[in-house]
Amino acid sequence: MSDKPIMAKATAVWLCDNTTLTFKQIADFCGFHELEVQGIADGDVAVGVKGFDPIANNQLTQEEIDKGEASATYKLKLKFYAAAAGEEKRRGPRYTPLSKRQDRPASIYWLVKFHPELTDGQISKLVGTTKPTIQAIRARTHWNINNIEPIDPVALGLCKQSELDAAVQKANAKKAKDGEAMSDDERRKLVSTEQSLSMPAEPKMPSAMAGLETFSLSDPRDDEGEEDTRDVSDADSFFNLPDDADSED
Protein backbone atom coordinates (compact mmCIF):
# COMPACT_ATOMS: atom_id res chain seq x y z
CA MET A 1 0.00 0.00 0.00
CA SER A 2 1.30 3.50 -0.88
CA ASP A 3 1.45 6.08 1.90
CA LYS A 4 0.86 8.92 -0.56
CA PRO A 5 -2.48 10.07 -1.98
CA ILE A 6 -3.51 9.41 -5.56
CA MET A 7 -3.36 12.45 -7.90
CA ALA A 8 -0.87 13.98 -5.47
CA LYS A 9 -0.32 17.24 -7.39
CA ALA A 10 -4.05 17.91 -7.76
CA THR A 11 -4.48 17.08 -4.06
CA ALA A 12 -1.75 19.57 -3.16
CA VAL A 13 -3.53 22.23 -5.26
CA TRP A 14 -6.77 21.61 -3.32
CA LEU A 15 -5.04 21.73 0.06
CA CYS A 16 -3.29 25.00 -0.84
CA ASP A 17 -6.60 26.55 -1.92
CA ASN A 18 -8.85 25.23 0.84
CA THR A 19 -6.78 24.88 4.02
CA THR A 20 -4.29 26.80 6.16
CA LEU A 21 -1.85 23.90 6.32
CA THR A 22 1.80 24.83 6.00
CA PHE A 23 3.72 24.15 2.81
CA LYS A 24 5.80 21.58 4.68
CA GLN A 25 2.70 19.71 5.89
CA ILE A 26 1.27 19.58 2.38
CA ALA A 27 4.65 18.62 0.92
CA ASP A 28 5.11 15.77 3.42
CA PHE A 29 1.58 14.48 2.82
CA CYS A 30 1.76 14.62 -0.98
CA GLY A 31 5.40 13.58 -1.37
CA PHE A 32 6.75 16.87 -2.79
CA HIS A 33 9.48 19.32 -1.85
CA GLU A 34 8.34 22.28 0.24
CA LEU A 35 9.45 24.74 -2.45
CA GLU A 36 7.34 22.92 -5.03
CA VAL A 37 4.26 23.35 -2.85
CA GLN A 38 5.13 27.01 -2.45
CA GLY A 39 5.29 27.26 -6.25
CA ILE A 40 1.82 25.70 -6.44
CA ALA A 41 0.49 28.29 -4.00
CA ASP A 42 2.14 31.13 -5.96
CA GLY A 43 0.66 29.86 -9.23
CA ASP A 44 4.03 29.05 -10.77
CA VAL A 45 3.65 25.28 -10.60
CA ALA A 46 0.72 23.04 -11.66
CA VAL A 47 -0.85 25.81 -13.70
CA GLY A 48 -4.25 24.67 -14.96
CA VAL A 49 -4.39 21.63 -12.65
CA LYS A 50 -7.81 21.29 -11.06
CA GLY A 51 -7.83 20.60 -7.33
CA PHE A 52 -8.65 17.07 -6.20
CA ASP A 53 -10.62 16.95 -2.94
CA PRO A 54 -8.97 14.31 -0.68
CA ILE A 55 -11.93 14.35 1.72
CA ALA A 56 -14.57 13.64 -0.92
CA ASN A 57 -12.31 10.97 -2.40
CA ASN A 58 -11.82 9.14 0.90
CA GLN A 59 -8.12 9.88 1.33
CA LEU A 60 -8.23 12.34 4.20
CA THR A 61 -10.70 13.29 6.94
CA GLN A 62 -11.70 16.78 8.00
CA GLU A 63 -10.64 15.89 11.53
CA GLU A 64 -7.13 15.16 10.26
CA ILE A 65 -7.00 18.53 8.48
CA ASP A 66 -8.20 20.28 11.64
CA LYS A 67 -5.37 18.67 13.61
CA GLY A 68 -2.86 19.85 11.03
CA GLU A 69 -4.20 23.40 11.03
CA ALA A 70 -4.05 23.49 14.84
CA SER A 71 -0.39 22.40 14.96
CA ALA A 72 2.22 23.21 12.31
CA THR A 73 4.31 20.21 13.40
CA TYR A 74 1.49 17.72 12.96
CA LYS A 75 1.92 15.25 10.07
CA LEU A 76 -1.19 14.34 8.14
CA LYS A 77 -2.02 10.64 7.90
CA LEU A 78 -3.59 9.12 4.82
CA LYS A 79 -6.98 7.64 5.61
CA PHE A 80 -6.97 3.86 5.74
CA TYR A 81 -9.59 2.05 3.71
CA ALA A 82 -9.86 -1.37 2.17
CA ALA A 83 -9.53 -0.27 -1.46
CA ALA A 84 -6.17 1.36 -0.76
CA ALA A 85 -4.73 -1.60 1.11
CA GLY A 86 -6.20 -4.23 -1.17
CA GLU A 87 -9.26 -6.00 0.11
CA GLU A 88 -8.89 -9.19 2.08
CA LYS A 89 -8.13 -12.04 -0.24
CA ARG A 90 -11.34 -13.51 -1.53
CA ARG A 91 -11.92 -17.16 -0.85
CA GLY A 92 -12.91 -19.54 -3.60
CA PRO A 93 -11.97 -19.80 -7.28
CA ARG A 94 -10.11 -16.94 -8.90
CA TYR A 95 -11.76 -14.80 -11.54
CA THR A 96 -11.06 -15.91 -15.08
CA PRO A 97 -11.56 -13.47 -17.99
CA LEU A 98 -14.33 -14.38 -20.42
CA SER A 99 -11.82 -14.70 -23.24
CA LYS A 100 -10.03 -17.51 -21.42
CA ARG A 101 -12.93 -19.41 -19.90
CA GLN A 102 -13.20 -21.69 -22.90
CA ASP A 103 -9.61 -22.80 -22.23
CA ARG A 104 -10.31 -24.00 -18.70
CA PRO A 105 -11.44 -27.56 -19.59
CA ALA A 106 -8.19 -28.08 -21.54
CA SER A 107 -6.13 -26.87 -18.59
CA ILE A 108 -8.11 -29.01 -16.14
CA TYR A 109 -7.55 -32.05 -18.36
CA TRP A 110 -3.80 -31.28 -18.42
CA LEU A 111 -3.60 -30.99 -14.63
CA VAL A 112 -5.64 -34.16 -14.08
CA LYS A 113 -3.48 -36.07 -16.55
CA PHE A 114 -0.01 -34.87 -15.59
CA HIS A 115 -0.51 -33.97 -11.93
CA PRO A 116 -2.91 -36.55 -10.48
CA GLU A 117 -1.59 -35.71 -7.01
CA LEU A 118 -3.37 -32.34 -7.08
CA THR A 119 -6.71 -32.22 -5.29
CA ASP A 120 -9.87 -30.82 -6.84
CA GLY A 121 -9.58 -27.84 -4.50
CA GLN A 122 -6.04 -27.05 -5.68
CA ILE A 123 -7.02 -27.30 -9.34
CA SER A 124 -10.03 -25.10 -8.67
CA LYS A 125 -7.84 -22.36 -7.21
CA LEU A 126 -5.22 -22.62 -9.96
CA VAL A 127 -7.50 -22.18 -12.96
CA GLY A 128 -10.67 -20.73 -11.43
CA THR A 129 -13.17 -23.50 -11.95
CA THR A 130 -15.65 -25.59 -9.97
CA LYS A 131 -15.24 -29.03 -8.44
CA PRO A 132 -18.13 -30.57 -10.42
CA THR A 133 -16.38 -29.59 -13.66
CA ILE A 134 -13.12 -31.16 -12.47
CA GLN A 135 -14.90 -34.35 -11.39
CA ALA A 136 -16.66 -34.58 -14.76
CA ILE A 137 -13.33 -34.37 -16.59
CA ARG A 138 -11.72 -36.89 -14.23
CA ALA A 139 -14.59 -39.32 -14.86
CA ARG A 140 -14.67 -38.44 -18.57
CA THR A 141 -18.35 -37.56 -18.33
CA HIS A 142 -17.88 -33.94 -19.41
CA TRP A 143 -20.23 -33.08 -22.27
CA ASN A 144 -17.31 -32.09 -24.54
CA ILE A 145 -14.72 -34.59 -23.33
CA ASN A 146 -14.05 -36.01 -26.83
CA ASN A 147 -12.96 -32.60 -28.10
CA ILE A 148 -10.81 -31.53 -25.15
CA GLU A 149 -7.04 -31.60 -25.60
CA PRO A 150 -4.78 -31.20 -22.54
CA ILE A 151 -2.98 -27.84 -22.53
CA ASP A 152 -0.65 -26.46 -19.85
CA PRO A 153 -2.54 -23.80 -17.83
CA VAL A 154 0.67 -21.75 -17.58
CA ALA A 155 0.87 -21.59 -21.36
CA LEU A 156 -2.76 -20.50 -21.45
CA GLY A 157 -2.11 -17.75 -18.92
CA LEU A 158 -4.57 -19.16 -16.38
CA CYS A 159 -1.96 -19.40 -13.63
CA LYS A 160 1.72 -18.70 -12.99
CA GLN A 161 4.44 -21.35 -13.08
CA SER A 162 5.37 -20.48 -9.50
CA GLU A 163 1.77 -21.11 -8.40
CA LEU A 164 1.68 -24.47 -10.14
CA ASP A 165 5.04 -25.46 -8.64
CA ALA A 166 3.88 -24.48 -5.16
CA ALA A 167 0.67 -26.50 -5.50
CA VAL A 168 2.56 -29.58 -6.73
CA GLN A 169 5.10 -29.33 -3.91
CA LYS A 170 2.33 -28.98 -1.34
CA ALA A 171 0.46 -31.99 -2.76
CA ASN A 172 3.59 -34.16 -2.80
CA ALA A 173 4.56 -33.07 0.72
CA LYS A 174 1.13 -34.11 1.98
CA LYS A 175 1.42 -37.38 0.09
CA ALA A 176 4.79 -38.08 1.71
CA LYS A 177 3.44 -37.16 5.14
CA ASP A 178 0.57 -39.59 4.70
CA GLY A 179 3.11 -42.32 4.02
CA GLU A 180 2.50 -42.74 0.31
CA ALA A 181 5.61 -43.46 -1.75
CA MET A 182 6.46 -41.05 -4.54
CA SER A 183 7.63 -42.17 -7.94
CA ASP A 184 10.81 -40.80 -9.53
CA ASP A 185 8.74 -38.54 -11.79
CA GLU A 186 6.90 -37.13 -8.77
CA ARG A 187 10.19 -36.47 -7.00
CA ARG A 188 11.42 -34.50 -10.01
CA LYS A 189 8.33 -32.30 -9.73
CA LEU A 190 9.47 -31.15 -6.30
CA VAL A 191 12.29 -29.08 -7.78
CA SER A 192 11.71 -25.59 -9.10
CA THR A 193 11.04 -24.90 -12.75
CA GLU A 194 14.49 -23.31 -13.17
CA GLN A 195 16.20 -26.37 -11.68
CA SER A 196 14.13 -28.74 -13.77
CA LEU A 197 15.00 -26.89 -16.99
CA SER A 198 18.70 -26.94 -16.12
CA MET A 199 18.78 -30.70 -15.54
CA PRO A 200 20.46 -32.74 -18.31
CA ALA A 201 18.09 -34.84 -20.35
CA GLU A 202 18.04 -38.48 -19.33
CA PRO A 203 19.03 -40.67 -22.30
CA LYS A 204 16.42 -43.31 -22.89
CA MET A 205 16.32 -46.05 -25.54
CA PRO A 206 12.91 -46.75 -27.03
CA SER A 207 11.58 -50.10 -25.86
CA ALA A 208 11.17 -51.23 -29.48
CA MET A 209 14.95 -51.05 -29.94
CA ALA A 210 15.87 -52.90 -26.77
CA GLY A 211 17.77 -56.11 -27.46
CA LEU A 212 18.81 -55.07 -30.96
CA GLU A 213 22.41 -54.37 -30.01
CA THR A 214 23.35 -57.94 -31.03
CA PHE A 215 21.40 -60.53 -32.92
CA SER A 216 22.11 -63.57 -35.09
CA LEU A 217 22.04 -63.64 -38.87
CA SER A 218 21.40 -66.73 -40.93
CA ASP A 219 23.28 -67.14 -44.17
CA PRO A 220 20.67 -68.09 -46.82
CA ARG A 221 23.40 -69.79 -48.86
CA ASP A 222 24.19 -72.23 -46.10
CA ASP A 223 22.25 -75.43 -46.91
CA GLU A 224 22.85 -76.84 -43.46
CA GLY A 225 21.27 -73.79 -41.80
CA GLU A 226 24.30 -72.82 -39.74
CA GLU A 227 23.90 -69.40 -38.23
CA ASP A 228 26.33 -66.53 -38.41
CA THR A 229 26.56 -65.29 -34.85
CA ARG A 230 28.82 -62.34 -35.57
CA ASP A 231 28.07 -59.25 -33.46
CA VAL A 232 26.47 -56.63 -35.72
CA SER A 233 27.92 -53.94 -33.51
CA ASP A 234 31.30 -54.92 -35.02
CA ALA A 235 31.02 -53.12 -38.36
CA ASP A 236 34.17 -54.72 -39.81
CA SER A 237 33.01 -58.20 -38.97
CA PHE A 238 29.55 -57.57 -40.37
CA PHE A 239 30.62 -56.18 -43.72
CA ASN A 240 33.57 -58.56 -44.37
CA LEU A 241 31.32 -61.21 -45.94
CA PRO A 242 32.84 -64.24 -47.70
CA ASP A 243 33.86 -63.73 -51.31
CA ASP A 244 31.54 -65.56 -53.76
CA ALA A 245 34.49 -66.69 -55.86
CA ASP A 246 36.30 -68.18 -52.83
CA SER A 247 33.17 -69.95 -51.68
CA GLU A 248 32.64 -71.57 -55.08
CA ASP A 249 36.21 -72.88 -55.07
What is the average pLDDT value for the chain, to the nearest integer? 74
Q: Can you give the residue range of the structural domain that contains 104? A: 98-197
Answer yes or no: is 213 within a domain: no
Q: Is 168 helix (H, G, I), strand (E, B) or coil?
A: helix
Answer yes or no: is 169 within a domain: yes
Does one domain contain both 71 and 125? no
Rg of the chain over Cα atoms, rounded to whole angstroms, equals 36
pLDDT (tens digit, 9 = 90+) per residue, 201-227?
A: 444 444 444 444 444 444 545 445 455
pLDDT at 40 > cutoff 70 = yes
In angstroms, the Cα distances linking 102 to 5, 115, 140 are: 40, 21, 17
Does one domain contain both 119 and 177? yes
Answer yes or no: is 90 within a domain: no
Q: Which residues contact 106 (CB under 8 A, 6 or more apart)?
A: 148, 149, 150, 151, 156
Give the number of domains in the chain: 2
pLDDT (tens digit, 9 = 90+) per residue, 152-176?
A: 888 888 888 888 988 989 988 888 8
Answer yes or no: is 29 within a domain: yes
Q: Read off φ and ψ for residue 228, nearest 5 degrees.
A: -90, 110
Does one domain contain both 144 and 192? yes
pLDDT at 81 > cutoff 60 = no
DSSP-assigned beta bridge partners for residue 217: 228
> What pLDDT score was predicted for residue 206?
44
| 8 compared with 222, residue with greater pLDDT | 8
End-to-end CA distance of the chain: 98
Answer yes or no: is 163 within a domain: yes
pLDDT at 120 > cutoff 70 = yes
Does one domain contain both 148 and 60? no
> What pLDDT score was predicted for residue 110?
93
Does one domain contain both 131 and 181? yes
Share of the chain above pLDDT 90, in %: 24
Give the residue from 52, 85, 118 where a domain finishes.
85
**Cα angle at 44 between 43 and 45, to 5 degrees?**
95
Name which of 198, 173, 58 is nearest 117 in CA terms.
173
Does one domain contain both 73 and 103? no
Does one domain contain both 156 and 185? yes
Does one domain contain both 48 and 128? no
Give the residue from 197, 213, 230 where a domain finishes.
197
